[in-house]
Chains A and B, each alone.
Chain A
Amino acid sequence: MDPQLTSLIVSTSETAHIEETLDRLIADTGANYSMLLDKSGQVIAWSGDTDRQDITSLGALLAGTFASSREVARLLKEKEFKVLFQQGIRENIFTELIAEQWMLVVMFDKRTHIGLVKVLSKRATDELTGVLDRVKTESRAKDQIISTSFRTSVEDTIDLLFKD
């Protein structure tokens, strides 16, 4: 990843591609919910139960857990832990790293077998790696979105909201 790249721009067509991949993963595994996270904790896309609350908090916490496990890997002289599995009584969470930048999260209950989730997540992460490569290339041309007038408007909003 280019460390000097300050933002990732996910286009409408790539978002559609990501959502299609997540929809198919849910349909094929019978999982309840799936989402794509950036390693910074931001949710890029999701699919599944529409009534799930607190997606933002979930994204921050899951990304935090993964980042923490990466540091554990470093202490153990492992390159990385590519996969994390959290087992609950009702629901389980499977998280897989995508090219050290994104994470694919799948939430499922006892009706879905972990083996199936593992195999099909691997297929999905391969597809999403391709998406990430294209997004990184496209992110270099960002002037159309982040214009000077956009920055000025954000600054005005910041002045308006951030006050005692």
Chain B
Amino acid sequence: MAIINVAQREIRCKIVYYGPGLCGKTTNLKYIHRMVPESAKNKMISIDTETERTLFFDFLPIDLGTVHGFQTRFHLYTVPGQVLYERTRVAVLTGVDGVVFVADSQPNKMRDNIESLKELARNIQNEGKKFKDFPLVLQYNKRDMPNAVPLEQMNYYLNSQLNARSFEAVASRGVGVFDTLKYISKLVISKL
């Protein structure tokens, strides 16, 4: 839930990057951290394992600066993607305002994508929110893979019921990263 602090003139929203293991959630945040202007940048925190897999979450606060007298800030988080961390993902989703679901475009990852998306829907509903109305954007990542699943099939398997906005991405090169972030940020603001 966004916090609007009138005394300190601040508005803060929480956006979570969700998806199966190794789909590129942390890569998205690292690229954003590298590319946003210094004025908007803050320290990025990663709680990960020795092999640099996310253990708890990555956290990156982004300052939009002052808008209409209000300091506006987005807090970006990732969840750990590995299956065994389901309860940790629930913990990170606490109080979320919007979700970027990052899907892996490789054919052997399609089942993981579907399972992860189902789990996300369940977790949002468990927070008492309607998943269909919840601010969500899909990012089809790793579109540069030679065996990437065609876009129509990605949409068929992941988005045919949701009809959420989707973006193609190659997060390791930054392709589609800011388009996704722009869209979810605006969607979250529109729902405040």
- What's the Cα separation between A42 and B40 when bound, in Å? 17
Are A142 and B192 CB-contacts (below 8 A) given A7-B3, A15-B8, A157-B72? yes
Which chain B residues border A38 with CB–CB below 8 Å? 1, 3, 95
What is the interface of chain A, defined by CB distance below 8 A to chain B? Answer: 1, 3-12, 15-16, 38-42, 44-45, 54, 56-57, 60-61, 63-64, 67-68, 70-72, 74-75, 142, 145-147, 149-151, 153-155, 157-159, 161-164
- The segment from B100-108, B137-145, B162-170, B180-188 found at the interface with A is B180-188
Residue on A nearest B31 in the bound complex, by CB: A164
Which chain B residues border A9 with CB–CB below 8 Å? 4, 6
Contact (Cβ within 8 A) B70 A40? no
Would you list 17 pairs from A and B whose C-beta atoms are within 8 A, ordered by A residue?
Answer: A1-B128, A6-B191, A8-B2, A10-B6, A11-B7, A40-B1, A40-B3, A68-B56, A71-B88, A147-B68, A151-B190, A155-B189, A161-B62, A161-B64, A161-B65, A162-B36, A164-B178
CB distance from B156 to the nearest CB of A (A): 29
B42: Cβ under 8 A from any A Cβ: yes
Contact (Cβ within 8 A) A16 B7? yes
Contact (Cβ within 8 A) B97 A6? yes
B17: Cβ under 8 A from any A Cβ: no
Which chain B residues border A146 with CB–CB below 8 Å? 4, 192
Are A154 and B72 CB-contacts (below 8 A) given A3-B127, A60-B45, A64-B91? yes
- What's the Cα separation between A142 and B189 when bound, in Å? 13
CB distance from B182 to the nearest CB of A (A): 5
Secondary structure at the B interface, as helix, strand, loop or mixed, is mixed
Which chain B residues border A154 with CB–CB below 8 Å? 64, 67, 72, 186, 189
Pairs of residues from A and B, 7 with the lowest C-beta to C-beta distance, nearest first: A40-B95, A3-B128, A15-B7, A67-B91, A7-B2, A71-B87, A12-B7
Contact (Cβ within 8 A) A163 B3? no
Contact (Cβ within 8 A) B6 A12? yes
